Amino acid sequence: MDTATTVNNTAVQVSTVDVPVKIYTQSLCFYYRRQKVLHDISLQLPANQITAITGPSGSGKSTFLMVLNRLWEEVEGCDISGKVTMELAGHFKNIHDPTLPVCELRRKVAMVFQQPNPLPMSIYKNIAFPLRLAHVNDKKRIKENVEFVLRQVCLWDEVKDRLGDDGRLLSGGQQQRLCLARALVLNPEVLLLDEPTSSLDPEASNAIEELLLTLKSQCTLVMVSHYQDQIQRIADFHIKVLNGRFSTGLDWRGDCNQNS
Ligand SMILES: Nc1ncnc2c1ncn2[C@@H]1O[C@H](COP(=O)(O)OP(=O)(O)OP(=O)(O)O)[C@@H](O)[C@H]1O
């Protein structure tokens, strides 16, 4: 592995390779009820790459993901300082800019959680719901999109005859793939993944890893993972966290071209 050396406003330079930046954090700190759990994080996340975040339990990995789509604002007693800038629809924006409504940010920055969280509605509606929220009303288009993303996450064959069943009746692994499909249906620019394969069997896990590699062409992936072998297989960059402090540079997988 190589280590990132220089950063400017448009690219992370890793050895002799320049990689465009999608997300900057500047002096980012995060507090739960005044307890500081993220400490002064300034880093750059490369566009259209998979960046893996690893670290011991409780070190702040999930909290960092929640900052990137402002999900922390739904949790009582939290506070933040510093700045997060993201390239969205071709423009760099402070994600806390009042001109960027949080619902619009979350459409572009989707998240899949460690614990699958299907909505209390049918399998079909779980996927159609975000489309409806985004004012997509064309039933044919919704149907096509639902099928497309369910195929993408290798769930279509298992659920095509029971699309009206409650999503919560699926197995844990199926629920995880359903939630990934729901995250993908609005074509996010950034996909945040918190242990995306932790509830999957090896076959489903391999299929999802393959999918994540293909998604690099359409979005930037930031993935928390405890699995070193998974990081070796699919991540391009690697950031380590310890007690809310992030390693200063990105470790770059020298053989990342294998995953391009
Ligand atoms: N809602 C909350 N209120 C108070 N403290 C919290 C809350 N959520 C998380 N924490 C604390 O913040 C710190 C970081 O938690 P976080 O969930 O981000 O860690 P993590 O690295 O993702 O852990 P894991 O690998 O176990 O999922 C921990 O000390 C945790 O106890």
Give the separation between CA 106 and CA 84, rounded to whole angstroms. Answer: 14
Domains in the chain: boundaries:
2-95+104-252
Q: What ipTM did this prediction achieve?
A: 0.97
Report which protein residue has its CA nearest ligand 1's atom 30. 58
Architecture of domain 2-95+104-252: 3-Layer(aba) Sandwich (3.40)
Give the separation between CA 134 and CA 142, rounded to whole angstroms. Answer: 11
Give the separation between CA 140 and CA 123, rounded to whole angstroms. Answer: 17
Report which protein residue has its CA nearest ligand 1's atom 20. 58
Q: Is the pLDDT of residue 63 over 90?
A: yes
Q: Is the pLDDT of residue 260 over 80?
A: no
172-184 vs 123-133: helix crossing angle, rounded to 10? 20
Q: Which atom of ligand 1 is nearest to the CA of 244?
A: 14
Q: Is the pLDDT of residue 74 over 50?
A: yes
H/E stretch holding 64: helix 61-68
Give the separation between CA 216 and CA 61, rounded to whole angstroms. Answer: 21
Q: Which atom of ligand 1 is nearest to the CA of 114?
A: 27
**Mutation test residue for ligand 1: of 36, 41, 62, the one with most atoms within 8 Å of CB:** 62
Kindly state the average pLDDT of the residues 186-214: 92
In the structure, which protein residues have their CB atom closer than 6 angstroms to any atom of ligand 1? Answer: 32, 37, 55, 57-63, 75
Q: Is the pLDDT of residue 238 over 80?
A: yes
